[in-house]
Every structure is written in C-alpha cells, then in structure tokens.
C-alpha cells in the first residue's frame, strides 16, 4: 500500500531551491555533490529558537562547523532570526524617554485618584 499524502519535505529546499543548485566545496578529497544540506537545514529551521548550535550538532551528528555554516546561510536568507533581538542606541533612547513620559503620566493619574478617594 502506498502513501498518497503529499509531503513538503525538505522544507527549506522547497522554499529556496536555488540554494542547493551550486555545490559548496568543503573537503579536498570529497566527491562533488556528495553532501546534502537539506535535512540539516530543516532541522535547524525547526529547532533554532529552542536549541543551541552545539545541541543541533550533537542531535544531527554533524560537525559543529557545518552547523555554524548553515546557520549563517539561513540567517543571511532571513529564514531564521536572532535569538535575542538587538536594540540600537536610538531605539533604546526612544524607549527610555517613552518610559519616563509614561511613569510621569501614571504618577499624575495616581495623584488625581488619591484626590477623588
């Protein structure tokens, strides 16, 4: 009995097929086109938020450098993001001034409420 359910695996390969067209040469003695990154890319895409690169390397039994390489490529393609979003200085200053304005506004409301009660 055959399974007729359509599958979308590998996910990254179906989303960005041009990523797998060009072979990336890593090892001198390896035969060209011997390594398929699609399974590693799918695993990174599913687990990048919860696991570290070291844990992904251990789980997939891959070299740490391969995981780091694919992690960098997926981040460059914006398929995965930063674990901790970075805030620039301008945005930080804006947030601090907004916080100060809100706290002064709340203290004024508290004074009004104390006058009513």
List the domain range (segments joined by +) for residue 114.
87-117
On whether both 15 and 69 belong to a single domain, the answer is yes
What's the pLDDT at 26? 56
Q: How many CB atoms lie within 10 A of CB 35?
A: 13
On whether both 9 and 45 belong to a single domain, the answer is yes
As for how many domains the chain has, the answer is 2
On whether both 96 and 67 belong to a single domain, the answer is no
On whether both 78 and 99 belong to a single domain, the answer is no
On whether both 71 and 94 belong to a single domain, the answer is no
On whether both 59 and 98 belong to a single domain, the answer is no
What's the pLDDT at 8? 58
On whether both 2 and 57 belong to a single domain, the answer is yes
What's the pLDDT at 30? 54
Integer angstrom CA distances of residue 50 from 15, 34, 55, 101: 22, 29, 10, 36
pTM for this entry = 0.53
The one-digit pLDDT tens for each residue of the chain (117 residues) are 444 445 556 677 777 777 766 655 555 555 555 567 888 888 999 998 889 999 999 999 999 999 999 999 899 888 888 877 778 889 999 999 999 999 999 999 999 998 876
């Amino acid at each position: 009995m055959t399974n007729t359910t359509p599958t979308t695996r590998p996910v990254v390969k179906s989303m960005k097929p041009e990523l797998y067209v060009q072979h990336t040469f890593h090892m001198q003695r390896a035969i060209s086109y011997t390594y398929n990154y699609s399974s590693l890319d799918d695993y990174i895409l599913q687990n990048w938020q919860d696991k570290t690169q070291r844990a992904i390397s251990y789980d997939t039994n891959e070299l740490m450098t391969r995981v780091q390489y694919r992690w960098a490529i997926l981040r460059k393609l914006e398929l995965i993001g930063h674990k901790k979003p970075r805030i620039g200085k301008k945005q930080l200053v804006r947030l601090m001034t907004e916080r100060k304005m809100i706290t002064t506004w709340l203290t004024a409301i508290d004074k009004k409420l104390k006058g009513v009660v």
